[in-house]
Each structure stands twice: as structure tokens, then as C-alpha cells.
Structure 1
Amino acid sequence: MRIFISTGEVSGDLQGALIITALKRQAVAAGLELEIVALGGEKMAAAGATILGDTSHIGSMGILEALPYLVPTLLVQRKAIAFLKQHPPDLVLLIDYMSPNLGIGTYMQQNLPDVPVVYYIAPQEWVWSISLRNTHRIVGFTKKLLAIFPEEARYYRSSGADVTWVGHPLIDRMQSAPSRQEARAKLGIADEAIAVTLLPASRQQELKYLLPIIFQAAQTIQAKLPEVHFWIPLSLEDFRQPIAAAIERYGLRATVLSGQQKEVFAAADFAITKSGTVNLELALLNVPQVVVYRLNPITAWIARKILKGSIPFASPVNLLVMREIVPELLQEAATAENITQAAMESLLNNQKKQQTFQDYQEMRQCLGEVGVCDRAAREILQMRKSTEISTIV
């Protein structure tokens, strides 16, 4: 069975690797031989995919922020479509990565309608959709949509998609995370030490808009709590040099690590983090956090005044229960002073910390049961049988 997978950015590469591992496991059980070609990154390659184009570095959030990536995105999209035209697969699996995947899905619908398209982790139209145009496009070319959020499933089902809610794949991933004691022993962190994780960037733009305010806050926290040490797991190795330079500039006692994200998270007392998938990983490990995000001021103005866009929450932790479990500091509210206040309150207020743990427990109920990736993989492989039957008929 030949599967083409398309995704992008750091988080897409991670999710792609998880589903590829599960697909291979389920294929063995079903007696299938898999060939997987993909747009993705190093993690997907390590999981067994042949990478047609590396998209882990191609990602942005916002209108102006997307401009530098327009040409690379178009080129990789054209490369994917040329490959699909020359080597039609048995199935196309799309993972998030909205703009390129809309183009690929539309191409499949118009030119290879007999090849089923499965969307796994669909774009969050249910959160920030301004019009239903893209929702209708997604529903139009998608034969099966595998949702990871309950609200995502309800939204796309009500729009006419064939939806199965499989749960969130991080439930599976975090099963192998070490305990706090194990993580601290591995990293050499004493039990009484205060460890704060900093997660300033997984996109280039975030080095500009988020890193300075996060590091300014860290500088103030360090002055207030001399025993604190900061731990920074790299999302991309390319970010090591600018982050190391910023550590020196702000005079932080910090350690930068690559490939030990689970250990850093599990060992942490608190995290100052950009919004994204990492928020859920931290929550599943019971790490209190403050979520920070800033866009170019012009992008924010256009979104508010012209597009009339608004979102209930930025962090998936809060989106799951549609209320604020973790503090979010967005745009003008994302200041070093506000970050410091949120961090100090959590680090020093035990009652606040316990409330966060209780709220995390509620959030977990919305993520489904362990076995998410295997459930998704079985649904994907099942599409081959349903396609064969419809072809025979």
C-alpha cells in the first residue's frame, strides 16, 4: 500500500512520525507492505518515510509573517503535486498544514478522485474560521476526517464530513515520558532545585517576537529567585546559536538541550511557553505554565479591524474545556512584567498550583484513551478495503 503524507512545521513532523510508526505496526498485523512518501522532516524520516521535501522549517503564524514562506511553500506544493501526478498513491494523508494541504487536497479531488484523502488533525477552522469557504473545501475533498479534539469532530461533522474522533496522539506519546524523579536524576537536577522550562520558539518569527520578552521575564525571575535554573529544549537545531547568544545577553543561568524534551518537561516546576502542542505535553506532565504569543502589530491590527477575527483561546489546553486553565498573555498583554507575575504566582502559591493540577485532570478527559495512533492507523488502512470494494462494485 502506497501512502503519501503531507504535513509541515515542527509539530507536524512529530505527529507524522507518530502516525507512521503506528501505520507500520498495524500494517504488519494486517499483512500489508507499506511504502510511505512524505512532505515532513527528520522525525518522519527516522520513522521510515521517504521525504520528498523538508517542510519542518516552513511555517509561520500571521499574514505578514507568512510572506517569506510563500515561494518555498508554493515550490514544495508543486513538487508534491508533480509526484502525485506521476506516482498516484493508494491513499493521501493530510496532517494540519492548511495552505499547502488545501492545494494538494483540491488537486486530488479534481484529478485523482478515486484516491481517498484522509485528513488527520484538520485545520482549526472550528476555532478561528472567518468564513466557511475553507471548511467546505476540506469537507469536499476529504473522504474521512480523523479528529483529535471533540469540538473539532462536532464542527466538521455538522459541516458534512465523515468524521471519527480518535483522541489526541499526545496521550500515546507521553506514556513513555519519565517521572519527575527519573527526569531530574538524568539531567542532574537536585530535588530542591527550581527548574523552569523556557519554550520561546518553534518558528523563525518567534525568535523575534517572543524570545526577548520571555528572556526578560526570566532575567527578573532569576533576580527574585537566585536558586532558579532555566532549561531550554531546542525545537530546531538551527535555533541553538540565537538562543545561546540571547542567554549570554540576558545573563541567564540556562542549559540548552537537544533531543531531551520529555526529560526537560518532566523535571520542570514551571514553563514559560509559546502557544502550541507543547502546552498539552506540559499539561499531561502536570507542569504549570504561562502561554505567551505575539504577532507583528500590523498583522494583529488587520486581523482585528479588517478581518474581524477573534479566538476564544490560543492554547489547546484552554480550548479543550473552553475556559482558562492556564494564563494566556497575547499581543499587548504579552509583556515581561505580566509573564513574571504569572510565573512567580505559580512558583510561590501552592494553592494556585494545586488548582492547576485539578484543572489539568479535567482537561485530560477530553483527550481520549491511550491507543490513539493505532486507532487512527486502523482507520487509515481500512480505507484501502473500502476503496477496493467500491471499485469492484
Structure 2
Amino acid sequence: MLFRKQWKLDNDSNVGFSRLWRRYISMPGRAVVDMAAKDGELRVFIVAGEVSGDSIGSRLMASLKKHCSVPTHFSGVGGSMMSRQGLNSLFPMEHISVMGIWELLPHLNNFRLKLKETVEAAFLFQPHVVVTVDSKGFSFRLLKQLRANYSQRGLVSPVHFHYVAPSFWAWRGGEARLKGLAEFVDQVFCILPNEEEVCKSNGLDATFVGHPILEDIVYPNSGKDVSPCEWKVDGDCEDFRSKNAIPAVISLLPGSRLQEVTRMLPIFANTMELLKESFPELMSVIHVAPNQHVEKYITEVVHKWPVPVLLLPGGSPKLKYDAFSASRVALCASGTVALELQLARLPCIVAYRAHFLTEWFIRYKAKISYISLPNILLDSAVIPEALFEECTPTKLAPLLMKLIHDRGPREEQIIAAEKIIRLLYPSEMTNLLQQDSRLRFPDCTPSMIAASTILHYVKSR
């Protein structure tokens, strides 16, 4: 187990990560940090294709810089958050941000070109480590081609990490596909409980680092000393309302990809139209993902919005959680945001629509009953879901009305959130945080655990 042994504190009072390397002590070779020390720098090629991946990547980059004993240099693909950590992206991240089957077809040629460009750039960079974050369609093709290129040239390949395990538990035959990944992925960072065990049983090395949304507990400028064992973020409700001169609101989160926002936002608009008859003072806050195409689209369409609306730019966790605290309920597209709402204890409705071929594929291949992670983790429909043909304004409006007026379902979601959030962090680390008063969550975050694993990883082949 990764956390079986007690961690020590370094002289600077941060958690010492040196203990983690013992996990690989039986393996021949040198650790990544030793190879970097010999070269006088650590070179990391890192790729993210989604807004959520950009956030994960930026935090991992910050953790690597903090704990690596030599200068760390990055190359790859990412968004605005990764650029703030020093990445000069090869091209805009949005070029590879496509989800779905039918939705991908018009972009196939561009996808291939960007993949070729990325493979060439990675090879020229000569990295010690390659890290791909989620976006498995692009990520796995990249890692596979890189491993093949190094092998064909008789060169030693860099160590390959993939952050966010593929959702093998969601699809029929998903576990069987894990077996082939070990050929080009050296280690997977799992963000959900039980994934590590299943990956290892299928020959794929893995580490459960915890879910990245837990890092929102230490979001900047919060001014709050939030205990990690409470697993909760309280935004500043009164400050948000007074600054924006607004009453209680509904938070709307239509997604981070342009294709899903253009599909979901009109549905959300018509839902607000139906609700305003019962709530004349209704106001909505639209959380805008840090994606230039999404920002442009939303800005153009909101002038026709049926109720007063406030656009909240993405990228600021403090602003996001302040808005959550000022909201009565939330309506969101399926995705990581459902867990963020759990962290804020904001009751929500999850909605999802896609191209009909993509919806057909999901129905045919999925082996789970729900689409949102909170429901999947509890195997219960705690959060109402309106999916596919059920995702209509006439279905969503009554669901929101019930959540606003009925205290029972609201409290049920809040109680469930306590259970869900605690599942998202390694239990061994939770115990250490509770037992040792010197330990602080900012030193034991998922990104810190992942960074330590990278630095002390010893390749076995």
C-alpha cells in the first residue's frame, strides 16, 4: 500500500515524500528524480485536452516544481491554468477537446494532425517523464505512438503516466481493455476508490491519489482555514450577493466543451423561461468555462436570456464557491461539476444530451444505471438526472421546483454528500491527517501524492 508507513516531516515542516520511493525498492534502475539530478533538470511533457484536465495538470505542475530538487521544465498541450505554471502550449487545448462518437467525425483529420505534431514535439523535447491527463482518446494514442517510436529507434523511453483512469467500470468489456494499456502506460493515477485494485489485477500499475476536486478545499484567497477532514468548502454568500446586488439565484453549469454548451444552454434557457412564471425575481448565474469558444458563444446568446443573468468567468475557485453559496439550487451538465456541487453542499439536477448516435452507443455499451458520479458511487439516484430525451425544459422545470420547495430532497443530497466526498480520498491519508497534528492537507493533496510518485518512480523495464 502506498500509505502504509507513517510519513515524516522535512525541516521546512512540509510532509516528507522520501518514504514513497520504498514502494519501488525491489525494482532495478534509478528513480526519475535521480535521472533529473544527473541532467541538472527535470523535463516533463504534459498533455491535457479538457478544462478539468487543465486544472489537474496545473496543480501537478505546481507540485512537481515545489518538490523537485532541480529546475523543472515543461512542454506539451494545456489551457490557461497550465500556462500560468509555465507551459507554452503547442496549440490551443480546444483543438483536441472533442467528446462523443458522431461529434468526433468532423474533427478526425485535425485530430490526426495534432497527434502527429504532439508526438514529434515530445520526441524533440527528450523528456524524462510524459504525463497525459484524462482525454483518453488522444492520450492513449499519443503514449502508444511515443513508446513505438522510441522502441523503433532503440532508445530508452521516458516514463509514461496517465492521470485519471479510464472509466472501465462504466462500460461492458471495460476491464478487458485495461490489459493492453500496460504496454505503453507505466502507471495510472486513479481518482476513484477501488480503481487501483482493478487496474493492478489486470496488469496495470496504479496509485489511488484521491479525487482532484478535493484540492478546492485549499483554494486561494479564501481566507478560511478549512479542515480537510470536514471535506467541505463554504463560499462567502453575503459578499457575492452584495457585490452583485442579487437575491437568491440558480447556478447554471452548461459544460466546458463548445459542443455540449451549444446543446445544453438553449435547454437551460427555456427551463428558466418556465420557472420565471413562479419566480418573478428569478436570477441565474451562468458559470462560464475558461474556453475561448465557449466564452464567445455564451456572450453572444445571453442577450436573449429570459431572466436576469450574471456571467461568471471560470478559473477562480473562490468566485465559483461564493456563487454556489449564494445559490438555492444548481442545474448542471453531467461531469466533474456534480462533485464540486457536493463539496459545496449545493443541491442540484444533472442534465445531459448528445447526438442521437452517441446516446444510442451509451445505452448499448454502458453497464451502469446513472451518469453522475455521486449517484454511481452510492448506486442510488440521490441526484435527479434528466438524460437524453428526458432532458427537456418541461421535465427540468418541475424537478427544480421540487428541489427548491421540498426540504426533504435537499437534505437527502446534503447528507449523501458527506458520504460521497469521504470516498474520494485515500483512507490511509485521512487517518494520518487526523492522527498527526503536524500534517496539513495542502501537503498531502492528490497532486502532491502524484508528484511524489512521479519523482520517486523507478522504471522496471
TM-score, normalization by structure 2 = 0.77
Structure (1 or 2) with the greater helix fraction: 1
State the superposition RMSD in angstroms: 2.4
Q: Counterpart of 1:41?
A: 79
Corresponding residue of 2:217: 174
Deviation string 1:50-108 (CA, Å, 9 cap, x unpaired) is 32232245323221111232223222211111122223210111111111111111123
* Equivalent pair of 2:44/2:131 in contact (CA under 8 Å): yes
Structure 2 vs 1, CA of residues 157 and 341 (structure 1 numbering), >3 Å: closer, same or farther? farther
Q: 2:213 and 2:106 mapped to 1: Cα distance?
A: 31
- Cα shift at 1:312: 3.0
Cα drift, residue 310 of structure 1: 4.5
Matched, 1:290 2:345: no
Which of structures 1 and 2 has the bigger CA Rg? 2
State the match for 2:447 in structure 1: 373
1:201 corresponds to: 255
Secondary structure at the counterpart of residue 455 of structure 2: helix
Does the CA contact (< 8 Å) of 1:325 and 1:356 recur in 2? yes
Partner of 1:217: 271
Provide structure 1 residue ranges, at least 5 long, that are not aligned to the other structure. Answer: none
Alpha-carbon displacement from aligned partner over 1:199-223 (angstroms, at most 9, x marks no partner): 1131121233211111111121222
**Within 1, Cα distance between the matches of 2:288 and 2:362?**
30
Deviation string 1:5-51 (CA, Å, 9 cap, x unpaired) is 11202111111112111111122xxx221111121111101122232
SS at match of 1:326: coil
Q: How far apart are 1:242 and its partner, in Å?
A: 3.1
1:262–1:71 CA distance, 2 compared to 1 (3 A):
farther
Match of 2:394 in 1: 337
Please tell me whether residue 246 in structure 1 is matched to residue 293 in structure 2: no
Q: Structure 2 residue aligned with 1:59, among 91, 97, 105?
A: 97
- For structure 1, which segment, 355-364 or 147-156, has the greater mean C-alpha deviation from structure 2 after superposition? 147-156
Aligned to 2:374, which of 317, 320, 344?
317
SS state of the match for residue 277, structure 2? helix
Shift of 1:132: 5.3
Whole-Å separation in 1 of the counterparts to 2:44 and 2:420 = 33
Local SS of the residue matching 1:256? strand
CA contact (8 A) 2:285 2:310 kept: yes
Q: TM-score, normalised by structure 1?
A: 0.89
**2: distance between equivalents of 1:273 and 1:114?**
41
In the TM superposition, residue 189 of structure 1 has moved relative to its aligned partner by 6.5
Q: Distance in 2 between matches of 1:211 and 1:57?
A: 21
Q: Which runs of 5+ in 2 are unaligned?
A: 1-41, 151-155, 223-232, 431-440
The DSSP-based 3-state class of the residue aligned with 2:236 is helix
Give CA-to-partner distance per residue, 1:298-322, whole Å, 9 cap, x none: 3323554xx5444432212222233
Measure the CA separation in 2 of the matches of 1:12 and 1:56: 12
Give the Cα–Cα distance (whole angstroms) in 1 for the partners of residues 157 and 357 of structure 2: 43
The alignment of Structure 1 onto Structure 2 pairs a total of residues equal to 382
Residues 129 and 308 from structure 1, CA distance in 2 versus in 1: closer, same or farther, beyond 3 angstroms? Answer: closer
Q: CA deviation at 1:366?
A: 0.8
Residue 276 of structure 1 and its aligned partner are, at CA, apart by: 0.8
Higher-RCO chain (CA-CA 8 Å, sequence separation at least 6): 2
